[in-house]
Amino acid sequence: MKILVTGFDPFGGEAINPAIEAVKKLPDEVDGAQIIKVEIPTVFHKSAEVLSEAVKTHQPDVILAIGQAGGRSDLTPERVAINVDDARIPDNEGNQPIDVAIQEDGEPAYFSTLPIKAMVQAIRDAGLPASVSNTAGTFVCNHIMYQVLYLINQGYPDIKGGFMHIPYMMEQVVDKPDTPAMSLSDISRGIEAALKAIVAYHGKEDLQALGGQTH
């Protein structure tokens, strides 16, 4: 079994992105699954091009994309990606699409095909905060989650895929008072726990557990 794990490069004026740094710290194998680590640019569409080439090269069974959600306090597997780019800030090449469809022939939304409830439970069992998220935003994180699931829908029906957001790492909040953060080692440990759940639940129904939100 092969799992492709992607992480973004720094963006938004940050010198570092814990997404790719945590991915780099992952072991090369998790519970018998080979872990393939790929850095992708924080750029609309170019990120999907890099991802697509990695899929062609490695032919993974699973794709897990990782991105930073500054301000969140826990690790959050995403439930759904929507077919819209609406960028609050420019990406790393200055693109700032507003209310633009990601794929004109794509569905309005795609749902993660990963065991998101089991991933949350595994992360919590590892002693770290986690919850299901019902919005991946409208920046490049939502964009790449949508592109992952669009790619699967268009030509790789046997691949499972999805996205998980992670918090800031400690070094990023030195000048951001009262902002949640997590150590890089814990972020990486949380991703590894999620990967263990992905392996354990591959080919099975997701864990039935509370994970909804009222608002």
Positions marked active-site: 78, 141, 165
Question: Kindly report the CA angle at 28 between 23 and 31, in degrees rounded to 5?
Answer: 105
Taking the C-alpha atoms of residue 37 and residue 84, their distance in angstroms, rounded to an integer, is 27
Question: Kindly report the CA angle at 116 between 47 and 110, in degrees rounded to 5?
Answer: 50
What are the E-state strand segments in the chain?
A: 2-8, 29-30, 33-40, 62-68, 76-77, 80-82, 109-111, 160-166
**Which residue from 47, 7, 4, 3 is spatially nearest to 165, judged by alpha carbons?**
7
Name residue 38's beta-bridge partners.
6
Tokens of 63: 């794709």
Task: Provide the pairing of β-strand 2-8 with 62-68.
Answer: parallel
